[in-house]
């Protein structure tokens, strides 16, 4: 014969269930969530900063592409003129028909150190320098809006990219920048080379050094 279990009187230790106080639960939750929120915030800030920097570097990549196309167009104009006029050059450009080098815009790299530079839209300044045979006028290239980078066009020599392969018969379109103003420069460049057969060949890729500086 089984004996019925005795009822445990209320209030005895066996009848009580162990419970954590509410404030301890809150403290534990905060201890887990606060560091996690800090990590997520840091990742979000990094992601936004990198997105903004990428948008700025797109300016450099697009602009040196445009400068390269302008150099190719100027070369084609000169080649056409030489074909019509014989052996003489029509505008006194380089022996291989490229526009000669341009002055960098802005002239001082400090003008784009952590800030934008507004090109001066007046005759004989910034992108309106050069002649029909040299510089920005020969390229027929100009920028009116503020820029984050210093832009270069060098033909034959004076290349700023350490990996430039343009040589004596080529040109380099390039951008230098200092987005964070720390004195460490980024460089973007694209080469073009005139072959012995007289064909201008543009590099298919942009060379980049210290992209997000």
DSSP per residue, 133-177: TBHHHHHT----S-BSSEEEEEESS---STT----TTEEEEEEEE
Nearest alpha-carbon partner for 80 in 71, 89, 68: 89
Give the per-residue pLDDT at 90.
Answer: 46
Contact 202, 165 (CB under 8 A): no
Give the per-residue pLDDT at 97.
Answer: 87
Q: What is the pTM of this model?
A: 0.75
Mean confidence (pLDDT) of the chain:
83
Length of the chain: 213
Q: What percentage of the chain carries pLDDT values higher than 90?
A: 61
H or E element, residue 13: none
pLDDT-based confidence at 162, cuts 50/70/90? Answer: confident
Checking if the pLDDT of 176 tops 80, the result is yes
Checking if the pLDDT of 211 tops 60, the result is yes
Please tell me whether the peptide bond between 162 and the residue prior to it is cis, using omega within 30 degrees of 0: no
Mean pLDDT of 36-44: 59
Contact 65, 203 (CB under 8 A): no
């Amino acid at each position: 014969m089984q004996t019925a279990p005795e009822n445990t009187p209320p209030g005895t230790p066996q009848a009580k269930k162990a419970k954590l106080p509410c404030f301890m639960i809150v403290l534990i939750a905060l201890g887990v969530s606060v560091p996690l929120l800090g990590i997520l915030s840091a990742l979000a800030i990094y992601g936004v900063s990198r997105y903004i920097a990428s948008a700025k570097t797109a300016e450099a990549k697009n602009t040196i592409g445009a400068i390269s196309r302008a150099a190719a167009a100027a070369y084609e104009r000169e080649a056409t003129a030489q074909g019509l006029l014989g052996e003489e050059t029509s505008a006194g450009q380089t022996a291989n028909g490229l526009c000669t080098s341009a002055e960098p815009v802005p002239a001082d790299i400090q003008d784009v150190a952590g800030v934008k530079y507004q090109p001066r839209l007046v005759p004989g300044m910034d992108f309106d320098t050069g002649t029909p045979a040299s510089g920005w006028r020969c390229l027929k290239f100009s920028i009116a809006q503020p820029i984050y980078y210093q832009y270069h066009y060098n033909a034959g020599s004076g290349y700023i990219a350490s990996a430039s392969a343009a040589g004596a018969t080529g040109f380099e379109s390039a951008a230098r920048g200092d987005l964070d103003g720390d004195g460490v420069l980024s460089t973007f460049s694209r080469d073009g080379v005139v072959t012995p057969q007289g064909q201008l060949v543009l590099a298919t890729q942009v060379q980049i050094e210290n992209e997000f500086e």
